[in-house]
């Protein structure tokens, strides 16, 4: 093992703690030998890290017993200097093996020693998920904003939704280790809202300070599309994909971008903002598929053309929803089919421009209408070569409306992992 330039023993110990926690989180029970084989660390390092994690409450130690094979190994980890001597070359003898006379120490991950929150703060409502330290969702809540442009009310509603989700999970608020929160606004690398336009400014409400003062929670703000990319790579269609764009395609388009497995932000958090679409021929605005389908469906109801949308809404154009348009198209309604054709042309231009600029391997469409939009994938893919020489693969998210909140959970868990040795879960 080698030491990374510019690192300290404390930092390296934290890196190794993250490695051990990563293995333990996906495993049931592990011995020290199992952890050595899975991480590539020496026995002395593994035992030292496990002792740290036991003291802090991250692990439980169980009695000795026969165990099955360890998980697959994890390469590229760092050895902590000064923790113990290097084992001799070759495979180490297992604990409890003949001639050693000592039983295997068995460790179990303390998945419920703490919890994280994933928060999706939209224009009209806030949704909250609660997860244990394995990332398993154990509670949820959603509340609307009565007055979306009132900053004080937004903080109160987010706080109330979080407490309701914790009540649903049966978890005390004092056991929350971190809160990931997604906003439809650029967030810089320091977690600050970049309020350079009025719409983004309505989300700059002092949420981090407010929830810290009210509940003692560490709040990690991030752009909602960026969190969608984290969630999709963690639990969605982008699993294992390193060069990725996840496009939220509801009322407005916004894109989270990952390059070589790393989330990109830009100097002011604006990578993936779609305002440039105002300059793209055949697009003209960053409106999303849900908003366009509803607007064009309303136009169809107001027109003289026969359409089932008029029957379903009683002729009231304002009652049209995006889901209605997709459903009508599935039934062969001509105006609805025309709307889908317009969406295909528009989204091919949007994704083509994105592919030319960022060259992702995969583009995932997420958001409230993503499942309905699955019927558009093949027609969009057919048109992509008209607008880019590097067409990506396309997919729709299976995470539905949870896509941002799931990514927020992942963001919070990443923070918890990175600060594991500073947190005492006892």
φ, ψ for residue 128, nearest 5 deg: -130, 135
pLDDT attached to residue 392: 97
pLDDT reported for residue 226? 95
CA atoms of 283 and 298, how far apart (whole Å): 19
Mean pLDDT over 215-228 rounds to 95
Same domain, 250 and 394: yes
82-96, 219-233, 258-272: which is most confident: 219-233
What is the rounded average pLDDT of the residues 270-287?
A: 90
Any idea what the Cα angle at residue 74 is, between residues 69 and 80, rounded to 5°? 110
pLDDT at residue 370, rounded to an integer: 85
Task: Tell me the CATH number at 173.
Answer: 3.30.420.40
In a domain, 43, yes or no: yes
Residues 74 and 186 in one domain: no
346's CB contacts (< 8 A; 6+ apart) are 282, 283, 292
Burial 269-308 (b: 16+ CB within 10 A, else e): bbbbbbeebeebeebeebbbbbbbbbebbbebbeeeeebb
Is 4 a member of any domain?
A: no
Q: Are residues 275 and 317 in the same domain?
A: yes
pLDDT of residue 28: 86
Q: How far apart are CA 44 and CA 75, in angstroms?
A: 18
Q: What is the pLDDT of residues 146-197, one digit of tens each?
A: 876 666 788 899 999 999 999 999 999 999 999 999 998 888 888 878 866 6
Pairing verdict, β 393-396 and 362-366: parallel
d(CA 230, CA 238) in angstroms, rounded, equals 9
pLDDT over threshold 60, residue 101: no
Residues 12-19, mean pLDDT to the nearest whole number = 89
The total of structural domains in the chain comes to 3
Domain contains 1: no
Per-residue pLDDT at 70: 46
Same domain, 198 and 120: yes
Q: Where does a domain end: 80, 109, 138?
A: 109
Range of the structural domain that residue 366 is part of = 237-398
116: phi then psi, degrees, rounded to nearest 5: -130, 160
pLDDT at 91 over 50: no
Answer with the one of 109, 130, 158 that is the final residue of a domain.
109
Sheet with 29-31: list strands edge to edge.
Answer: 29-31, 106-109, 59-62
pLDDT band at 54 (very low <50, low <70, confident <90, very high): very high
Considering the domain boundaries, does residue 341 fall inside one? yes
Tell me how far apart the alpha carbons of residues 402 and 371 are, in angstroms, rounded to a whole number. Answer: 13
Q: Check whether residue 250 and residue 381 sit in a common domain.
A: yes
247 and 378 part of one domain = yes
* Structure confidence by residue, pLDDT tens digits, 346-385: 999 999 999 999 999 999 999 878 889 899 999 999 999 9
> pLDDT tens across 298-355, in order?
999 999 999 999 999 999 999 999 999 999 999 999 999 999 999 999 999 999 999 9
* Cα–Cα separations (whole angstroms), residue 291 to 29, 144, 217, 317, 330: 49, 19, 35, 14, 19
Q: Which residues contact 277 (CB under 8 A, 6 or more apart)?
A: 253, 283, 284, 285, 286, 350, 353
Better-predicted residue by pLDDT, 369 or 40: 40
- Kindly report the number of other CB atoms within 10 A of residue 142's CB atom: 16
24 touches 30 (CB < 8 A):
yes
- The reply to whether 225 and 274 lie within a common domain is no
pLDDT of residue 418: 87
Kindly state whether residues 247 and 376 are assigned to the same domain. Answer: yes
Phi, then psi, of 251 in degrees rounded to 5: -75, -40
Q: Are strands 29-31 and 393-396 parallel, antiparallel or unpaired?
A: unpaired
Residues 369, 243 share a domain: yes
Domain-embedded: residue 297: yes
Sign of CA dihedral 134, 140, 142, 143: negative
Same domain, 394 and 418: no
183 in the same domain as 135: yes
- Picking from 58, 85, 109, the residue at the C-terminal end of a domain is 109
Q: Sort 398 into a burial class: Cβ within 10 Å, 0-12 / 13-18 / 19+.
A: middle
pLDDT at residue 268, rounded to an integer: 82
pLDDT band for 270, please (50, 70, 90 cuts): confident
pLDDT recorded at residue 88: 36
Calculate Rg over the CA atoms of the chain.
Answer: 25
**Which tops the pLDDT comparison, 93 or 17?**
17
User: Both 26 and 102 in a single domain?
Assistant: yes
Question: What's the pLDDT at 253?
Answer: 93
Residue 39 within a domain:
yes
If one counts every other C-beta atom within 10 angstroms of the C-beta of residue 27, the result is 16
Residue 3 located in a structural domain: no
The answer to whether residue 347 sits within a structural domain is: yes
């Amino acid at each position: 093992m080698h030491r990374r330039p510019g690192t300290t023993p404390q930092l390296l110990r934290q890196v190794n703690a993250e490695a051990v926690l990563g293995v333990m989180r996906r495993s049931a029970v592990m011995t020290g030998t199992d952890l050595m084989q899975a991480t590539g660390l020496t026995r002395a390092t593994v035992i030292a890290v496990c002792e740290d994690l036991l003291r802090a409450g991250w692990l439980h130690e169980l009695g000795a017993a026969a165990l099955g094979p360890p998980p697959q190994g994890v390469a590229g980890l760092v050895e902590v200097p000064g923790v113990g001597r290097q084992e001799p070359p070759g495979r180490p003898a297992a604990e409890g093996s003949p001639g050693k006379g000592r039983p295997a120490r068995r460790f179990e991950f303390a998945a419920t020693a703490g919890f994280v929150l994933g928060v999706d703060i939209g224009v009209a409502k806030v949704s909250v998920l609660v997860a244990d330290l394995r990332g398993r969702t154990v509670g949820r809540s959603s509340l609307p904003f009565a007055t979306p442009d009132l900053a004080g009310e937004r903080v109160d509603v987010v706080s109330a939704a979080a407490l309701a989700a914790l009540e649903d999970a049966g978890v005390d608020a004092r056991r929350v280790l971190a809160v990931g929160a997604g906003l439809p606004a650029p967030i810089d690398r320091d977690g600050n809202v970049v309020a350079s336009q009025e719409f983004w400014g309505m989300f700059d409400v002092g949420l981090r300070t407010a929830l810290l003062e009210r509940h003692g929670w560490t709040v990690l703000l991030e752009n909602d599309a960026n969190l969608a990319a984290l969630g999709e790579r963690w639990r969605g269609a982008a699993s294992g994909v390193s060069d990725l764009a996840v496009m939220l395609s509801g009322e407005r388009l916004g894109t989270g971008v990952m390059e070589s497995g790393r989330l990109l932000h830009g100097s002011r958090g604006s990578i993936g903002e779609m305002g440039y679409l105002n300059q793209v021929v055949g697009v003209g605005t960053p409106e999303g598929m849900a908003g366009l389908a509803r607007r064009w469906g309303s136009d169809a109801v107001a027109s003289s053309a026969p359409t089932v949308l008029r029957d379903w809404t009683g002729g009231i154009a304002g009652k049209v929803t995006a889901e209605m348009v997709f459903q009508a198209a599935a039934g062969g309604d001509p105006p609805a089919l025309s709307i889908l054709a317009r969406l295909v042309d528009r989204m091919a231009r949007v994704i083509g421009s994105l592919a030319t600029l960022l060259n992702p391997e995969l583009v995932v469409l997420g958001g409230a209408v993503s499942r309905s939009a699955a019927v558009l994938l093949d027609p969009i893919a057919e048109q992509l070569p008209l607008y880019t020489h590097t067409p990506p693969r396309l997919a729709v998210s299976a995470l539905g409306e949870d896509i941002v909140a799931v990514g927020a959970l992942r963001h919070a868990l990443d923070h918890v992992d990175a600060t594991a040795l500073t947190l005492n879960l006892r």
